[in-house]
């Protein structure tokens, strides 16, 4: 073994990569809002919206995984793990009729990735390289190790943020901008977590350039950030 990550069989256009990564969350939000009854006082209708959107989320996540695998001949270990947790926690949400499970899923996966990456750094291994199955052109081992460390720490920040939002916005609370609590939490996945992830990715570019990343590889770094 050479220790090098296996390269992707085919390159992914940036917008398709974003569709695979974040399309399921968009579908989750749209389906939930579509089935959510107007006004308060309809717990049966609200539960139906939760179950329908969670089911759609699971189907969309599996579809994105299959699409990535067969369209590009590749699905990263991070995508496999994320999809498995979506199906697992989504299944518990539907089985137990409790949105707590789908809301705790991001915390669980952020903590898992954070622990794995920092454990790898402690061992002197850049596990992020293997989770993403990426080979950012020119980036040396020190750069990969620092990127793994930084993303490991950032995943802990995202886990804490999800816990704050989860406790403040759930099916039993009022949300923002006329939305209910759960709608606000789902919307935060799109309008808070995704922008934060891209902003954090941009902040890593100067460090990566100092460790050998070639200018033509910047787009790959930006359009294929780690995600839950």
Whether 7 shows a pLDDT value over 50: the answer reads no
- In a domain, residue 49? The reply is no
- In a domain, residue 15? The reply is no
Domain housing 164: 76-223
Q: Model-level pTM?
A: 0.87
C-alpha of 167 from chain center: 20
Instruction: List the helix and strand counts (H, then E) for the chain.
Output: 9, 0
- In a domain, residue 112? The reply is yes
Q: Which residue has the tokens 């390289």?
A: 129
Whether 4 shows a pLDDT value over 80: the answer reads no
Please tell me the total count of domains within the chain. Answer: 1
- In a domain, residue 88? The reply is yes
C-alpha of 116 from chain center: 15
> What is the rounded average pLDDT of the residues 179-201?
90
Percent of the chain scored above 90 by pLDDT? 58
Q: How far apart are CA 130 and CA 185, in angstroms?
A: 30
pLDDT (tens digit, 9 = 90+) per residue, 119-157? 999 999 999 999 887 778 889 999 999 999 999 999 999
Smallest Cα–Cα separation from 163: which of 139, 141, 188, 145?
188
pLDDT (tens digit, 9 = 90+) per residue, 200-220? 999 999 999 999 988 877 877
Residues with Cβ within 8 Å of 164's Cβ and at least 6 positions away in sequence, in order, are none
- In a domain, residue 39? The reply is no
Whether 98 shows a pLDDT value over 90: the answer reads yes
- In a domain, residue 36? The reply is no
Whether 6 shows a pLDDT value over 70: the answer reads no
> What is the rounded average pLDDT of the residues 185-202?
91
- In a domain, residue 92? The reply is yes
Whether 5 shows a pLDDT value over 60: the answer reads no
- In a domain, residue 213? The reply is yes
Distances in whole angstroms, Cα of residue 108 to Cα of each of 102, 121, 156, 212, 228: 10, 20, 10, 33, 10
């Amino acid at each position: 073994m050479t220790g090098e990550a296996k390269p992707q069989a085919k390159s992914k256009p940036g917008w398709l990569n974003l569709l695979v990564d974040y399309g399921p969350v968009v579908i989750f939000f749209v389906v939930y809002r579509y089935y959510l009854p107007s006004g308060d006082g309809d717990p049966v209708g609200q539960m139906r919206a939760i179950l329908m959107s969670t089911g759609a989320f699971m189907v969309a996540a599996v579809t994105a995984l299959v699409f990535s695998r067969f369209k590009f001949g590749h699905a990263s270990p991070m995508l496999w793990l994320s999809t498995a947790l979506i199906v697992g926690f989504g299944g518990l949400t539907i089985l137990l009729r409790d949105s707590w499970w789908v809301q705790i899923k991001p915390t669980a996966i952020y903590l898992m990735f954070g622990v794995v990456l920092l454990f790898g750094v402690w061992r002197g291994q850049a596990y992020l390289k293997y989770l993403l199955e990426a080979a950012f052109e020119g980036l040396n081992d020190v750069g990969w190790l620092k990127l793994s460390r930084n993303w490991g720490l950032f995943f802990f920040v995202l886990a804490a943020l999800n816990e704050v939002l989860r406790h403040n916005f759930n099916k039993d609370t009022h949300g923002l901008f006329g939305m209910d609590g759960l709608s606000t939490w789902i919307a935060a996945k799109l309008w808070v977590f995704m922008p934060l992830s891209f902003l954090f990715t941009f902040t890593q570019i100067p460090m990566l350039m100092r460790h050998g990343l070639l200018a033509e590889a910047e787009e790959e770094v930006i359009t294929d950030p780690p995600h839950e």
